[in-house]
Structure 1
Amino acid sequence: MCLLTFAWKTHPQYKLIFASNRDEFYKRNTAPAQYWDNNPNVLAGKDLEAGGTWMGINKNGRFTALTNYRDLENIKSQAPSRGMLTLDYLQGTDTPQAYLEGIFNNIDAYNGFNLLAGTPEELYYLSNYEHKVRQLEPGIYGLSNALLDSDWFKVNRLKTKFTDIIKQADFSTQTLLDTMHDTTKPSDDKVQQTGLPMDRERMLSSMFIESPTYGTCSSAIVLMDYDNQVSFVERIYNTGNPEVKEQSFSFKVG
């Protein structure tokens, strides 16, 4: 996953409002969000090549999301799958803090990542480019392929649009999903610099990404209210086809 924003305990109705775009090579084999056959407690998409996931929630309210940290000069060809970090959290029982602290034993084996892990009561963040576990205070945050709240055009743009939407008393998941389909690009002086050629940096600078081989494959919205009722909506984009598929799930954290 490559872009997300979330409001944590700042909204009068929802303790968590989460919106994300998943960007990937179109040829990579993945499955949409679903209750997993081997663990029906888990609701998440699935990477059918490596076996993990990029974001998910379980029926106990354990929530997690992952983005890659882009560092082209330090890619490890034999690194373990980062998507297993999220899956292991969803299937585990450790507190978020204990789980993230446990990753420190092997943190440098992974390619760059940002990881969120939470419950209905608490939310934590870890990056192996920051090397500390942070408990997140109530607020609105944005994350892409650098550290949390990095000053990137698409992170700032998404946070601003998201903040304006959730201020509305009757905002909807559809409005949030539509907002995620924003292809606006910045001027070149505001494009993030991560070591890629400028034409590729420019292509990756918008909230919603389109190219012949790589782009935004799905968007997801997760809402959790103060009674721990969860709503999960996913919009899946078919490359080269204007038709989209949308699915929704709801459950009460037990």
Structure 2
Amino acid sequence: MCLIAFAWQVHPRWRLLLAGNRDEFHARPSAPLARWHDLPIIGGRDLEAGGTWLGATQAGRCCVVTNVRDPNDPQHGTSRGLLATDYLAGSDDATTHAQSLLAAAPSYRPFNLLTFDTAHGFYIGNRPSARAQPIEPGVHGLSNADFNTPWPKTRALMQRLQAWMDAGHDVDVAPLFRALADEHQAPDDALPDTGVGLERERWLSSAFIRGERYGTRASTIVAVGYDGRGLIVERRFGAAGRFEGESELTFQASGN
């Protein structure tokens, strides 16, 4: 993923409510949202490295990973997507997992990781050094920088998620998809400087990125209720932002 806003333990119905865009090269092979046949994971799948950028489980766990935008940081190490797969397929709760991952975090490519179970959420990152912090109840954002870094598109998506909740929504996710489809670029004086040059900073500053070789590949909404019921909706896009399909899956945690 490259842009995420989420509400944790503040919506009256949804324990976790998350909206995010995955930006990637269009040539990289991926499978759409599905229940995996070989692991207890619900999500899309990177067919090159085998992991996922966002997934959930029938037990109400969820995990999301982003990269870190820094052209001077070599992309060496284990694939980030395996972080999400390992958490979702594992048995450790979010707290135990965060503590145990710290030792191995430097061996992965630059990453930001969000993990959630039925009670706790964690942010784990490995740049500039490995660290983990519990997620407090509230509305948060993440892109290709540190947790809650106020990039314009991150702030904007957080504000639209907050507005969605303030309006009393709990089922109609169309306004969230409209927020993820926003192609408005930030003014130059609000852009971050991540070392990719002004033109590329402008292009990457919109929520939805349209391009022939690289751009937004998927927009996804995840909602996990306090009662264990969950919903994932994914919209997929090809080169130049061409719509390629939509999938929706629901689940119910056992024992709820």
TM-score band, normalised by the shorter chain? over 0.9
Residue 107 of structure 1 corresponds to which residue in structure 2? 105
Task: After TM superposition, give the deviation of residue 242 of structure 1 in Å.
Answer: 4.4
| Residue deviations 1:127-153 (CA, integer Å, cap 9, x gap) | 112532211111000000001110201
Alignment partners' CA distance in 2, 1:185 and 1:240: 16
Residue aligned with 1:179, SS = helix
Task: After TM superposition, give the deviation of residue 240 of structure 1 in Å.
Answer: 4.0
Alignment partners' CA distance in 2, 1:98 and 1:165: 33
Residue aligned with 1:207, SS = coil
Contact kept in structure 2, 1:203 and 1:211, CA below 8 Å: no
Residue 169 of structure 1 corresponds to which residue in structure 2? 168
Residue aligned with 1:74, SS = coil
Greater shift, 100-109 or 144-153, is seen at 100-109
Aligned residue runs from structure 1 range 1-254, under 5 A: 1-39=1-39, 41-77=40-76, 79-129=77-127, 131-171=130-170, 172-240=172-240, 242-254=242-254
| Matched pairs, number | 252
> How many percent of aligned residue pairs carry the same amino acid?
35
RMSD after superposition: 1.4
Task: After TM superposition, give the deviation of residue 238 of structure 1 in Å.
Answer: 2.9
Residue aligned with 2:131, SS = coil
Task: After TM superposition, give the deviation of residue 241 of structure 1 in Å.
Answer: 6.7
Residue aligned with 1:88, SS = helix
| Residue deviations 1:47-80 (CA, integer Å, cap 9, x gap) | 1001111010011111100011112212144x11
Contact kept in structure 2, 1:208 and 1:216, CA below 8 Å: yes
Alignment partners' CA distance in 1, 2:136 and 2:241: 41
Residue aligned with 1:133, SS = strand
Greater shift, 109-118 or 137-146, is seen at 109-118
Residue 48 to residue 131, structure 1, CA distance change in 2 (3 Å): same
| Residue deviations 1:133-191 (CA, integer Å, cap 9, x gap) | 21111100000000111020110111111111121223512221122100011111111
Greater shift, 115-124 or 101-110, is seen at 101-110
Task: After TM superposition, give the deviation of residue 120 of structure 1 in Å.
Answer: 1.6
Alignment partners' CA distance in 2, 1:13 and 1:58: 18
Matching residue's letter, 1:106: A
Matching residue's letter, 1:228: G
Alignment partners' CA distance in 2, 1:127 and 1:54: 15
Q: TM-score, normalised by structure 1?
A: 0.95
Contact kept in structure 1, 2:4 and 2:20, CA below 8 Å: yes
Residue aligned with 2:154, SS = helix
Alignment partners' CA distance in 1, 2:49 and 2:80: 9
Alignment partners' CA distance in 2, 1:151 and 1:5: 11
Residue 241 to residue 99, structure 1, CA distance change in 2 (3 Å): closer
Greater shift, 177-186 or 231-240, is seen at 231-240
Contact kept in structure 1, 2:179 and 2:207, CA below 8 Å: no
Greater shift, 153-162 or 128-137, is seen at 128-137
Alignment partners' CA distance in 1, 2:240 and 2:148: 32
Instruction: Extract unaligned runs of 5+ from structure 2.
Output: none
| Residue deviations 1:73-97 (CA, integer Å, cap 9, x gap) | 12144x1101000000010001112
Alignment partners' CA distance in 2, 1:197 and 1:240: 21
